[in-house]
Amino acid sequence: MIRLKKELRFFEKSRAKLLKEHENEVVLIKGEKVFGFFKNERDAYAEGVTQFGNAAFLIKRVSKEKDETAYFPALTFGLIHADPQ
């Protein structure tokens, strides 16, 4: 089961607002609340672990660009399974 869909929906809903002051920063989101902005993903993760312990939370770079699709040909052609379920 894919987790953090709620957080990602919140990010998409808030993207335009976040872009105004935090473009290219990394945001830490849990539930529907922002818990800070950081220079990179590692700093955001360290803060997330400090605040929430070993829990799921969203770390996302604030960018105008839509997320690109990643390709793993071994997965694409079914040589290795893509779906972890």
* Of the residues 20, 55, 64, 65, which one makes contact with other proteins according to CB under 8 A: 55
C-beta separation of 25 from 61 below 8 A: yes
**In the complex with other proteins, which residue's Cβ is closer, 18 or 48?**
48
Q: Which amino acid is at 45?
A: Y
Q: 62: part of which helix (H) or strand (E)?
A: none
Give the phi and the psi of residue 33 in degrees, each rounded to 5.
-140, 140
- Examine residue 83 and tell whether it contacts other proteins (CB under 8 A): yes
Count of residues making up the chain: 85
Write out the binding residues for other proteins, residues 7-26 only, by CB under 8 A: 8
Residues of the shown chain interacting with other proteins in the complex, contacts defined by CB under 8 A: 2-5, 8, 40-42, 44-46, 48-50, 53-60, 67-78, 80-84
